[in-house]
Amino acid sequence: MPPKKSSRKSHNVYVVELSKRVWTADHKFRAANPHYMGVQPCLYVGMTSLEPEQRFKKHLAGAKSKKGHKISSKYVEKYGMYLRPSLYEQYNPLSLADAKIMEERLANSLKKEGYAVWWN
């Protein structure tokens, strides 16, 4: 019997390092990170059904859905520098349900370690 679709490990979490310019340029990013001390890098945490490298390229290109809706993060598109595999590789692959949970847990964990983090 094939596994339930929701339990298939077809998703990944990923982390992108952002330029620190995001800190000075975006008030929403600063507001989301009130305890940031400026020592660690700024990061974006996401989840995807693609390989992280493919998803990162879509962010940088300002990808849109077939219906024309923007599917890239403005933070990665404008400030994304590179992927940080050492911060996420150990968690992949995941089911969709687990990826949603891990995205939030990873973002909050990185914030506790002193990073400024955006995720959605």
With cut-offs at 50, 70 and 90, classify the pLDDT of residue 3: very low
- Between CA 96 and CA 77 the distance in angstroms is 24
The token duo for 87 is 């911060």
Across the range 15-31, mean pLDDT stands at 98
Between 5 and 111, where is the model more confident? 111
Residues 6+ apart with CB under 8 A from 118: 18, 22, 29, 32, 42, 43, 44, 45, 73, 75
Q: What is the pLDDT of residue 66?
A: 87
Q: What is the pLDDT of residue 69?
A: 85
E strand intervals along 49-115? 80-83
Residue 45 has pLDDT above 60, yes or no: yes
Could you tell me which of 67, 65, 66, 20 has the C-alpha nearest to residue 43? Answer: 20
